[in-house]
Structure formats: C-alpha cells, structure tokens
Amino acid sequence: MTGTAGQHELKFWSTQSWACLQTVTLLVPPTSVSSPGGTATAHDSYLQVGIDLTASYLVLCDIARKVHFHLTAVDII
C-alpha cells in the first residue's frame, strides 16, 4: 500500500506483479475540524493504519475527523 501527500489517495499493489490492484480516494469536506495538534484544515489528514496478522483486514483511522474505515482483502483468481 502506498499513499500520496496528505494521504487522500491510497493505492494497493500486487506483491507478485507490482500491478496496482485498487485506488481509494478519500474526499474531505471543506470545513475545519479539531485535531490533536489544534485545528486541521480540509487538506490535513491524521491517518493511522493497522493491518491484522493474516493481512485480511486493514483499518484506517482519521483521528482529526474521528472516522474509521475497514477494508477487507478478497482473493482474486
């Protein structure tokens, strides 16, 4: 998985062919929100990423906006 500046776009890659499997774009509302370091603008993201030991589930948490995303890996044959 790779991310762009600000973590607004995430790309998931195959470890066998290095082909991009999926692109996820996170859209952020244009309002200011409270963040751990003060006030965040619409362009700021404070993402924490976690993955389980089986690499089946990925959890993204934006601590500035108090939202989380759960992604489930599915085998593609």
Q: What is the pLDDT of residue 26?
A: 77
pLDDT of 13 strictly over 80: yes
Strand residue runs (E) in 1-77: 2-3, 9-13, 20-25, 33-35, 38-40, 47-51, 57-62, 67-72
Query: How do residues 20-77 score in pLDDT, each as one tens digit?
Result: 988 888 776 665 555 555 555 555 667 788 888 887 888 888 887 788 888 887 765 5
pTM of the entire structure?
A: 0.59
Instruction: Report in angstroms the alpha-carbon separations of 65 from 22, 28, 37, 46, 59.
Output: 24, 9, 13, 8, 15
Instruction: Identify the bridge partners of residue 24 per DSSP, sorted by sequence position.
Output: 10
Q: What is the pLDDT of residue 38?
A: 55
- What does the pLDDT average to over 9-27? 85
Q: What is the pLDDT of residue 50?
A: 86
